[in-house]
Amino acid sequence: MSSNGYPLLLAQNVSYHRDGRDILRHVTFSVGPGELVGLIGPNGAGKSTLLRVISGLWSGAQGTIALLGQPLKRYSPRDVARIIAQVPQITALDFPFTVQQIVLMGRNPHLNRFQLETEQDRRIVHDAMRRTKTLDLEDRLIGTLSGGERQRVLIARALAQEPRLLLLDEPTANLDIRHQMDILALVRDLIEADRLGVVAAVHDLELAARFCDRLVLMHQGTLLAEGSPNVVLTPDHLRAAYHVDTRLYADPVTGYLRLAVLDENTHQR
């Protein structure tokens, strides 16, 4: 719970209709401070749509979405941006901005129109870059960075907003395993240090089990299961969502949950 006794985010019976079809149907979950909630499910399950709807980016949803105990619709877009920061799956950064300029953009919700950044704003940006280990990149053009470097810069920009809630859409997409681990470890460090609430759409189920406190399993726009990784990642749930047979086991070296997908030959042995 937040300091006022309410979750950072509460979504109740959220439904969303777009382009002639129901993309979300009666989705309910919450996020508290210091908690990483992973959205999992097959492609087209509604994960990215849910992130856009709860952030206010897409309006017109039915049901209740509340930030800090107040309905989302009562907040102005600027107020929402002071509470929620987003790292989208696809970000167009084709202009020749430096890394420092990109991170400075995170201060926009706190500045009036035409107001220049203050020394305090620059200190906040410097701290965000220090914590995400991007200070040595500050003069580099964003287009010259690797995928892992760019993702850390986008998280630094989000941190510069000083949010209470962070929304990540596939933060490890197209990264190698080392950078996947680095990004999610960074997110966990930020959660523990700042008591941020984080909602992340995660494609890799083993990474989701390793780093997330709770999982929300979605299927065809509905919430199929919600709870701890051990509760959500069961053969029955994964068969219903992904249409595959699986076995889950603890890794003998790390103790983390691992997943084996079975095929017909496996069943015949």
pLDDT tens column, 182-194: 999 999 999 999 9
The partner residues of 27 in beta bridges, in order of sequence, read 14
Residues 47-76, mean pLDDT to the nearest whole number: 94
| Element spanning 124, H or E | helix 119-131
- For 186-201, b where at least 16 C-beta lie within 10 A, e where not — what string? bbbebbeebebbbbbb
Give the mean model confidence (pLDDT) for residues 230-247: 96
Give whole-number Cα distances, 265 to 15, 68, 121, 262, in Å.
Answer: 41, 51, 60, 8
pLDDT value at position 236? 97
Pairing of strands 62-67, 257-262: unpaired
Residue 156 has pLDDT above 60, yes or no: yes
The DSSP line for 4-37 is TSS-SEEEEEEEEEETTEEEEEEEEEEE-TTEEE
Q: Report the DSSP pairing between strands 245-250 and 257-262.
A: antiparallel
pLDDT for the residue numbered 268: 44
pLDDT at 267 over 70: no
3 state SS of 120: helix
Task: Decide which of 99 and 4 is more confident.
Answer: 99
pLDDT of residue 102: 95
Of 196, 200, 127, the residue nearest 160 (C-alpha): 127
Contact 238, 261 (CB under 8 A): no
Please report the domains of the chain, with CATH numbers, ordered by start residue: 9-268 (3.40.50.300)
Strands annotated E in the chain:
9-18, 21-31, 35-40, 62-67, 70-71, 84-87, 165-169, 197-201, 214-219, 222-227, 245-250, 257-262
Q: What is the rounded CA–CA span in Å between residue 173 and residue 168?
A: 11
Give the model's confidence band at 269: pLDDT under 50 very low, under 70 low, under 90 confident, else very high: very low
Q: Is the pLDDT of residue 233 over 90?
A: yes
As a whole number, the mean pLDDT across the chain is 92
The confidence score (pLDDT) of residue 241 equals 97
pLDDT tens profile 62-96:
999 999 999 999 999 999 999 999 998 766 666 78
Choose the weakest-confidence range: 75-79, 103-107, 263-267: 263-267
Q: Which residue has the tokens 């030959």?
A: 265
Please give the Cα distance from 258 to 269 (Å, whole number): 21
Q: What pLDDT is recorded for position 129?
A: 96
